[in-house]
Amino acid sequence: MELTEKQLQWKDEFRAFVDEVVVPHADVHDREQYLEPQVIQKMKEKGYLGSMLEKKYGGMELDWVTIGILNEEIGRGCSSVRNLLTVHGMVALAILRWGSDEQRNHWLSTMAAGEKIGAFALTEPEVGSDAKNVQTTAVLSDDHYVLNGHKKWITMGQIADVFIVFAQCEGKPTAFLVERDSPGLTTTPIDSLLGSRGSMLASLHFENCKIPKENMVGTVGIGLSHVGLHCLDYGRYTVACGCVGLGQACLEQSLQYARSRKQFGSVLGENQLIQKMLTEMTVNVKAARLLCYHAGHLKDQIDPDSIMETWNAKYFASKMVNQAASDAVQIHGANGCSGDYPVERYLRDAKINEIIEGTTQIHEMLISKNSLRNT
């Protein structure tokens, strides 16, 4: 696949933005465990928080390959900033695809502008991959739904203005929009994570939380099968592309270090074992990038195979970046274990990417079952 001239222009713009705005703050995001407001503000000004939305709502209406390039470049700079793009986009696209006209008109313009931030609330303390068995409940009472339950590991939960929450309604998984100031909703920050520490995670507690009945997204029972899977498809795609960016960062830092660090009278890059790691890193980053471009191209064609190809891309890219980050630390030696070098952060962030939006093992189950059905 070759990028179009316009896509190449976007790539240059995104890369310049990341180098100027995101990279200088990445270590602060990691150490202080929050996203600096000026970085979010500049993302808003560029329109990136509306990259996935139609122009009629003030979005950029980028094609899927270009959305992938944006997430790759942001992921190269800071995984936590890229996580904002992911969860915000998941909520926006859920409203765009499954929301009512009133929900679209109320939320999408402000979300495209970044005036309102969205977060995806599916995971619970006892429910992760087994999403259909969420324990949070929603019961209709007059003109309101009353929610009770507990969500955990909610990315951007500390700053989000609106959550898409999945709860059992009439015994079926159903999606709802819940605003931060809804009575009965409280949030508790989660910190000291292994990686992606600037993602501002929170736990959500619903205690007789009342929301208007108009806040249901779609209908009863399609929360996971339609709304949730639509969100997760976008999530997997952007995480996969972010892994490519993080892998590229590992490669660039490793090449720079291998050119400058001298051992035994020569630079590291002349050592054949170092060359082997650099070779594998180079080829695997390129392979993951092509898988992502292919998935994005199929999405642009509205090809149903895009879902399967997104699974493939997320599976390969998240495994790839963990090996790349591990090798980057190895190449740096003791320096790679120090916060003075970014590869230490890359390694921690890489592991997070292999867990979110479907673990490696869940993807192995999905991909193998699909292959068995179709071969």
Q: What is the mean pLDDT of residues 337-353?
A: 97
Q: What is the mean pLDDT of residues 128-153?
A: 92
Q: What is the mean pLDDT of residues 278-288?
A: 98
Residue 319 — pLDDT band, cuts 50, 70, 90? very high
**What percent of the residues of the chain are helix, what percent strand, and what percent coil, each to the nearest 5?**
60, 15, 25
Write the CATH number of the domain with boundaries 118-221.
Answer: 2.40.110.10
Q: What is the mean pLDDT of residues 319-341?
A: 97
- Domain 224-374: homologous superfamily in CATH: Butyryl-CoA Dehydrogenase, subunit A, domain 3 (1.20.140.10)
5-112 CATH, one of 3.40.50.300, 1.10.540.10, 3.40.640.10, 3.20.20.450: 1.10.540.10
φ, ψ (nearest 5 deg) of residue 284: -70, -35
**Bridging pattern class, strands 162-169 and 118-121:** parallel
Q: Would you say 147 and 197 are in contact if contact means Cβ atoms under 8 Å apart?
A: no
Any idea where the domains of the chain sit in the sequence? Answer: 5-112, 118-221, 224-374
Q: Looking at the predicted structure, is the pLDDT value of residue 1 above 90?
A: no
Q: Looking at the predicted structure, is the pLDDT value of residue 84 above 80?
A: yes
The reported pTM is: 0.95
Q: Would you say 135 and 126 are in contact if contact means Cβ atoms under 8 Å apart?
A: yes
Q: Looking at the predicted structure, is the pLDDT value of residue 131 above 90?
A: no
The full length of the chain comes to 375
User: Is 357 assigned a catalytic role?
Assistant: yes
What is the reported pLDDT for 128? 74
Give DSSP secondary structure letters for 236-253: HHHHHHHHHHHHHHHHHH
What is the reported pLDDT for 147? 98
Structure letter (DSSP) for residue 32? H
Give DSSP secondary structure letters for 75-142: HHH-HHHHHHHHHHHHHHHHHHHHS-HHHHHHHHHHHHTTSS-EEEE--BTTBSS-GGG---EEEEET
**Range name among 23-37, 117-131, 170-184, 334-348 with the lowest pLDDT average:** 117-131
Q: What is the mean pLDDT of the chain?
A: 96
Of 5, 45, 357, 364, the active-site residue reads: 357
Q: Name the 3-class secondary structure at 191.
A: coil
Residue 122 — pLDDT band, cuts 50, 70, 90? very high
Q: Name the 3-class secondary structure at 176.
A: strand
Summarised one tens digit per residue, pLDDT across range 146-200 is 999 999 999 999 999 999 999 999 999 999 999 999 999 999 999 999 999 999 9
For residue 374, the surrounding DSSP H or E stretch is: helix 360-374
Query: Left if phi > 0, otherwise alpha if psi is -120 to 50, otherwise beta: which for 142?
Result: left
Summarised one tens digit per residue, pLDDT across range 6-21 is 999 999 999 999 999 9
Structure tokens at 253: 């830092």
Cα separation, 37 vs 71, whole angstroms? 19
User: For the chain, what percent of residues have pLDDT higher than 90?
Assistant: 91
Residue 100 — pLDDT band, cuts 50, 70, 90? very high
**Range name among 34-48, 194-208, 263-277 with the lowest pLDDT average:** 263-277
Count other Cβ atoms within 10 Å, centred on residue 45: 12
Q: Would you say 191 and 234 are in contact if contact means Cβ atoms under 8 Å apart?
A: no
Q: Would you say 68 and 313 are in contact if contact means Cβ atoms under 8 Å apart?
A: no
Single out the residue of 244, 256, 239, 262 nearest to residue 328, CA to CA: 256
User: For the chain, what percent of residues have pLDDT higher than 70?
Assistant: 100
What is the reported pLDDT for 303? 95
Summarised one tens digit per residue, pLDDT across range 54-71 is 999 999 999 999 999 999
